[in-house]
Structure 1
Amino acid sequence: MIQAPSLSLPCFPLSQILHTLFMIIGFILLGGEGILAHRWGVGLGWARGPRKASHLWLQGAALGFGVAGVWTKFKAKKGVLANFHSLHSWMGLLCLLLFAAQWTVGFLSFWNRGEGRRARTLLLPWHVFVGIFTYSLAVATAESGLAEKMAFLHTKHGIPRSSLEFTLINVLGLTLAIHCGLVVFTLIPVKHKENSNITMVSSDGEHLNSKFVFS
């Protein structure tokens, strides 16, 4: 009789489970939706104000989940420094810092409108570029975390690489990569790649020129 493959995953600490859950929900799922908020808003016929608000608060929620995810590592029993020695952890901290800087700059410059029109025009392409880079970095960080977890399962618990556990992790990693590609593809359609000089109109009617389009 042929038996179906069964899972034999070890019991991970709650901090590791929450860390993975918070980071994926925050930086990848909510972060991706926050990036696309302008695009979805246009399709739904929203005015620019609600689109900006949804972008701001989705990214704020993503940042909150990211902070909570990192906090779970600070609260681990082995101490703070024990959890921040790998490339995965360094990439994660860089991602968190960039995310926080992006949200702060976006709030002060585009929502609170603390900068003048010319300053916002110059800042907008960099804000978009750093946002896309940070999101891509978040996905790359998640992939490195999955690879790190696979190495842990193989070396510490002897789980073979051909097991169902490794297959599930590979499927999750591939899903995250495809999700990232779809977000970037939706954000920059082909028609806007061909016409790289696009004029954006802000909520008060002023025009902002940018090579990237959110509306």
Structure 2
Amino acid sequence: MAAVSASMLPLLFFARASGLVVAALVLTWALAFKSSFLPHSSSQEDLIYAVLHPLLMVIGFIIISGEAILVHRWLPGSRNLKKSVHLCLQGLALSSGIFGIWTKFHGIDGVVANFYSLHSWMGLICVSLFGAQWMMGFLSFWHRAEVRMTRVRVLPWHIFLGLYTYGLAVATAETGLLEKLTFLQTRRNVYKSCPESMVVNSLGLGLALLSGFVIFAAVSPKSHVPVNKPKCLSS
């Protein structure tokens, strides 16, 4: 059973703390400023879908997928256990991402009106890449013996695409925050120094810090404690 190295503990702590701050900020934004998510008066169902989108994409997709990346660093136990937990967390994140995009198909302006921006295009690409990554990991996990050599060759690409997709998800969220805040400030006269603007800007900064800690933890080399073998005493 491998223990977490002392050098990784501060990094894992800051990654978890950043995740909690991001979750608190997106919950505050979604629940305290609900009227900002629908520019016109609409039904309660439309409001729920509009609020669910940032919650699912930030907490369900970004934070949980980040935790899945960190599993290899903090979870004690066998390698197969870590892979199982990693796969389950990534599956939960993928489900949240798919459902988060699905909520936009129920927008009051229709499907096309909700998929015209850079944010929407990046989101579709990100979730598609994430789904392909998860499927590759799923097949590799359940067919270890048959694809052992293939898995060894594919593993570096799997790691690269996993981190790239995670970074792309954070970048997509940042474009979404910028798009929403720009709309609020130009069309609804939301001041740049108002509480809502501060919450959204803090959320963007928190996401940037979170992604930095998670990616740094993922690429940091594992430290191995040397084991000193007992010397034979000569008689």
Structure 1 equivalent of residue 54 of structure 2: 20
Q: Sort the Cα spacing of 1:27 and 1:8 in 2 relative to 1 into closer, same or farther, 3 A.
A: closer
**One-letter amino acid matched to 1:74:** F
Match of 2:178 among 147, 153, 162: 147
Pairs within 5 Å for 1:56-95: 56-95=87-126
Per-residue deviation, 1:187 = 1.0
> Residues of 2 paired with 1:97 and 1:127: CA distance?
15
> Residues of 2 paired with 1:34 and 1:109: CA distance?
17
Deviation track 1:36-61 (CA, whole Å, cap 9, x = no partner) reads: 111112xx2x1111101000000000
- Report the structure number with the largest CA radius of gyration: 2
Match of 1:99 among 115, 130, 150: 130
1:31 aligns with 2:62: no
Provide the aligned length of Structure 1 versus Structure 2.
183
Deviation track 1:95-151 (CA, whole Å, cap 9, x = no partner) reads: 110010000001112343275222111100000000000000000000111001111
> Residues of 2 paired with 1:121 and 1:175: CA distance?
35
Q: Which structure 1 segments of 5+ residues have no match?
A: 1-6, 194-215
Identity %: 51
Q: Which structure 2 segments of 5+ residues have no match?
A: 1-31, 38-46, 224-235
Is the CA contact 1:15–1:73 (under 8 Å) kept in the aligned structure 2?
A: yes
Q: Give me the TM-score of the superposition, normalised by structure 1.
A: 0.80
**One-letter amino acid matched to 1:106:** G
Is the CA contact 2:34–2:51 (under 8 Å) kept in the aligned structure 1?
A: no
Is the CA contact 1:30–1:58 (under 8 Å) kept in the aligned structure 2?
A: yes
> Residues of 2 paired with 1:27 and 1:8: CA distance?
22
Runs of 4+ in 1 over 3 A off after TM superposition: 7-11
CA RMSD of aligned residues (A): 1.8
Structure number with the bigger relative contact order (C-alpha 8 A, sep ≥ 6) is 2
Match of 1:179 among 179, 196, 210: 210
Structure 1 equivalent of residue 189 of structure 2: 158
